[in-house]
Amino acid sequence: MADERPMSVTEAMTLARGTLEGLSLLRVVGEVSEFTDKPGYKAVYFTLGDGSSVMSCLVWRDAYGASGLQLRAGMLVEVTGSLTVYPPKGRLQFQARALAPAGEGVLRMQVAALARRLEAEGLMRPERKRPLPRYPERIGLVTSPRGKAVHDVIRTLRRRYPGAELLIAGVAVEGADAAARIVAGISAVDAAGVDVLILARGGGSYEDLMPFNSEEVARAVVGCGAPVVTGIGHEPDNTIADMVADCRASTPTAAAETVACAFTELESHVGHLARRLARGLLHAARDASHRLERLGDRDIFREREELLSVRAQQLDTASDALVRALPAHIERGRSRVTAVVDGLRRVGARLGRTERERISVDAAALGRLGPALLRRAEDSVEREAARLEDLSPRAILARGYAVCYDEAGRVVRAAQQLAAGDRLRVELGCGRADCTVDSVEVEA
């Protein structure tokens, strides 16, 4: 009306504020593009956008804490509140009373809650993770039979590690029943007795990966008898299956490379072991040769007299004792026989004719028995002397044998010790000779 006075700016902004705040509560969905949360501020400030428009928003700190959200740029959220005006700045803003994730955000909150629960059970602890076998003989693969992932894994294993046996469980990796099928695939491959298992799929949206964020798949991975390697191609997100697996790879190809070393690496490892074995054998042979040389340098092996000296001295001593003992023993026997004969003669002189005749017969028999006993003793001495002669090293050489010594004085026992041109000293039964080797023949 013409007679009405004009409003001040403050009055106009206050009117606008009251009008906006009088509207019913609004629910708005948008993507967070700016976010400010400074210590000491009573409110948290952020901006929502939908690609065409932006809206400044605030939420009081107590309401923000009650929402359980951690806002970040790029997050899709649903806010409930009302429009208002901030008069000092003349700024239209949305005052949020409640916050909730929208779309993918809801899924992420559910996954985060499950991850926290499983982590509290200790399923993600590093000490629970099992080491992968270095050279697996049987490798299991659980993935879609029609996707790119199965071909990537097969091609990589054929190129890097063709000797392993690959067992594949083709299952659905997305959809309503995908989690149950993945669990069944893990159970079937594990029951077949594999050394390591690959759980893989190609890329996809966050919603497509939800089977790998399910609790049943996570517990199947933990309960698998073989170590599990995940190759779920979705960066930078980690699924719960990645978190509880024994090893996580970024893609199916990377998972195959993780479980199987390259053939060149295996060849290099075998070559390294072969070189170590050769060095060990060479060292052992050198050590044995050195010990043999040290033994060969001992006097007992250089001189045959040293080897047999103790036995030879014992034989000499026994021979001397035998030579000294036999004549004295025979003489004592002869003296005893003579004394007995003399005694018998004296007794016979006092006996009758018949008794003397009987004694004469006995004396004659005794006279015949004495030389026989003497001959048996002499035969025994001769046999023992012959045995002593047979044991003598000189007797062995006298039969045509010889002992060869090399220039170092060591006994030569095999032709392998000689080479043409070597100088030898040959010990014979009578004397010795110096010789030169013309040729060597080694028996097979």
- Is 80 exceeded by the pLDDT of residue 395? no
Percent of the residues in the chain that have a pLDDT greater than 90, as a whole number:
31
Report pLDDT for 244. Answer: 94
- On average, the pLDDT of the chain sits at 84
- Among 360, 375, 391, the domain-final residue is 391
Omega before 327 within 30 of 0, i.e. cis: no
Among 97-106, 114-123, 356-365, 398-407, which range has the highest average pLDDT? 114-123
Same domain (yes/no): 324, 366:
yes
Local confidence band at 162 (pLDDT 50, 70, 90 cut-offs): confident
3-state SS assignment for residue 201:
strand
Question: Is 188 part of any domain?
Answer: yes
Domain co-membership, 175 together with 257: yes
Does residue 78 carry a pLDDT above 60?
yes
Position 170 scores a pLDDT of 94
* Separation of alpha carbons 333 and 339, rounded Å: 10
The verdict on 304 and 387 lying in the same domain is yes
Decide if 177 is inside a domain: yes
Q: Are residues 195 and 176 in the same domain?
A: yes
Q: Does the pLDDT value for residue 347 go beyond 80?
A: no
Same-domain check for residues 159 and 247: yes
Measure the CA angle with vertex 247, ends 245 and 249; round to 5°. 110
Residue 108 lies in a domain: no
Report the 3 state secondary structure along 160-213: HCCCCEEEEEECCCCCCCHHHHHHHHHHHHHHCCCCEEEEEECCCCCCCCHHHH
Same domain, 271 and 350: no
Total domain count, the chain: 5
Same domain, 173 and 233: yes
My answer on whether 130 and 257 are in the same domain is: yes
251 & 209 share domain? yes
Domain boundary among 38, 68, 102: 102
Mean pLDDT of 381-397: 74
Question: 88-102, 191-205, 220-234, 359-373: which range is least confident on average?
Answer: 359-373
What is the pLDDT, as a whole number, of residue 356? Answer: 67
255 falls within a domain = yes
**Which of 177-186, 207-216, 261-270 has maximum average pLDDT?**
177-186
The confidence band for 307, taking pLDDT boundaries of 50, 70 and 90, is: low
- pLDDT for 313-331, tens place per residue? 788 788 888 877 778 778 8
Does residue 115 lie within any of the structural domains? Answer: no
Is 80 exceeded by the pLDDT of residue 370? Answer: no
More confident residue, 213 or 102: 213
In a domain, 4, yes or no: no
Q: What is the CATH number of the domain that holds 67?
A: 2.40.50.140
pLDDT digits (tens, 9 = 90+) for 163-184: 899 999 999 998 889 999 999 9
Same-domain check for residues 132 and 188 = yes
Overall average pLDDT of the 97-121 stretch: 80
The residue ranking higher by pLDDT, 398 or 135, is 135
212 and 274 belong to one structural domain: no
For 131-149, how does the pLDDT look when each residue is reduced to its tens digit (9 = 90+)?
A: 999 889 999 999 999 889 9
What's the confidence (pLDDT) of residue 290? 83
pLDDT at 107: 67
Confidence of residue 383 (pLDDT cuts 50, 70, 90): confident
Provide the pLDDT confidence category of residue 152 given band limits of 50, 70 and 90: very high
Q: Give a yes or no: residue 118 inside a domain.
A: no
**Mean pLDDT calculated for residue range 226-238:** 84
437 and 407 Cβ atoms separated by less than 8 Å: no
Residue 87 banded pLDDT, cuts 50, 70, 90: confident
Question: Is 244 in the same domain as 273?
Answer: no
Does 3 score more than 60 pLDDT? no
Domain membership of residue 148 (yes or no) is yes
pLDDT band at 94 (very low <50, low <70, confident <90, very high): very high
Confidence band of 192 (pLDDT split at 50, 70, 90) = very high
Domain range spanning residue 287? 265-296
* Residue from 80, 87, 92 nearest 54 by CA: 92
Within 8 A by CB and 6+ apart from 407, the residues are 422, 423, 424
CB atoms within 10 A of CB 362: 11
Secondary structure element (H or E) that encloses residue 252, with its range = helix 252-259
